Structure 1
Amino acid sequence: MRQDPNNYWEQLERLEKLIRASELKAGIIFSFHSLIIGLFIDRIGQFQPVIQSSKVFVVLAFLWMACVLVSIFYCFKCFKPQIELKYDKNVFFFRDAVYGFGDVDAFTKKIMEVCSGEEIYEQLSQQIHIESKIIDQKFICVQKSIKFFGLSFIFVILSLAFWIITI
């Protein structure tokens, strides 16, 4: 029974969309942090009296900044996940395509050989596997970033409420 490689290609296309979606989410979270930090720095003078007189506000601000930094860390980690797995050379892995088979003629010969036989299914399956691992790591990072974004937002609200009460 002959398999259809289009099913594999469609799966890879779906995985690529998930990779872009995770990176978009991380980018949006990062943008919100940038906006909130910018507003805080722009209005630091208004908070100066409460910063100087209240340790509670300073602690809340410190907790907010710590959550922001952790959230931003996970945003960056989403953009560059560290996946280190050992696979055989694969014509569909971008790094192997460039460096794994020698010059362009050797690569061309190898990819034509792979695509004309049953080896295409094995190599496409490996590509699907590694992209799935990458996506899993990206979404773990996005979830952690969202969690710390939520915590930072809570600390912002508490800080603002404390500031308003002390005015």
Structure 2
Amino acid sequence: MRQDPNNYWEQLERLEKLIRASELKAGIIFSFHSLIIGLFIDRIEQFQPVIETSKVFVVLSFLWIGCVLVSIYYCFKCFKPQLELKYDKNVFFFRDAVYGFGDAKEYTKKLMEVCNSEHEMFEQLSQQIHIESKIIDQKFICVQKSIKFFGLSFIFVIMALAFWLVTV
């Protein structure tokens, strides 16, 4: 049975969309944190009396800041997942395309060889799908952790604001 290379390319395109979606989510979470931190810093003098007199408010604020920092860490980690995988040189891996096959002529020659051999082309496309799937998995794990800590930070900031309102 003859395989259709379009199935592989469509799968790679779908994976690229998932990568962009995870990075968009991380960017949105980061933006929300920036907005909330900016609002807090702009109004720090309003919170000054309760900061000076209330240990509860200070503890809630530190818990909020801690959760924000962890959430932001996972946002950044989403943009650069660390994977340690061993593959043979692959004409479809961007780093191999640049450094793995010599100059542009040598790379072009190797790419044409791979594309002329269905077995080798499907094998290398499969490896590309595999690595992109691992990248996406790591990105979505980071996004989920970032969302979790974003939620916790939101709870702590609401508690701190409620405490501030009660003491004002």
TM band (smaller chain): over 0.9
- Please tell me whether residue 158 in structure 1 is matched to residue 159 in structure 2: yes
Letter of the 2:121 partner, please give it. Answer: I
Give the superposition deviation at 1:82.
0.4
Letter of the 1:58 partner, please give it. Answer: V
Distance in 2 of aligned mates of 1:123 and 1:144: 32
After TM superposition, the score normalised by the length of structure 1 is: 0.99
Distance in 2 of aligned mates of 1:83 and 1:125: 17
In the alignment, what sits opposite 1:120? 121
Distance in 2 of aligned mates of 1:157 and 1:101: 56
Letter of the 1:21 partner, please give it. Answer: A
Distance in 1 of aligned mates of 2:112 and 2:159: 62
**Stretches of structure 2 lacking an aligned partner (at least 5 in a row):** none
Q: Secondary structure at 2:136's aligned position in 1?
A: helix
Q: Which runs of 4+ in 1 moved over 2 A?
A: none
Give the superposition deviation at 1:2.
1.7
In the alignment, what sits opposite 1:96? 96
Question: Equivalences for 1:18-167 in 2 at 5 Å?
Answer: 18-117=18-117, 118-167=119-168
Q: Secondary structure at 1:102's aligned position in 2?
A: coil
Aligned length: 167
Letter of the 2:128 partner, please give it. Answer: Q
Letter of the 1:154 partner, please give it. Answer: I
Distance in 2 of aligned mates of 1:159 and 1:104: 59
Give the superposition deviation at 1:84.
1.3
CA RMSD of aligned residues (A): 0.4
Give the superposition deviation at 1:51.
0.1
In the alignment, what sits opposite 1:4? 4
Q: Secondary structure at 1:85's aligned position in 2?
A: coil
Q: Secondary structure at 2:102's aligned position in 1?
A: coil
Distance in 1 of aligned mates of 2:152 and 2:2: 53
**Stretches of structure 1 lacking an aligned partner (at least 5 in a row):** none
Identity %: 86
After TM superposition, the score normalised by the length of structure 2 is: 0.99
Distance in 2 of aligned mates of 1:28 and 1:108: 39
In the alignment, what sits opposite 1:14? 14
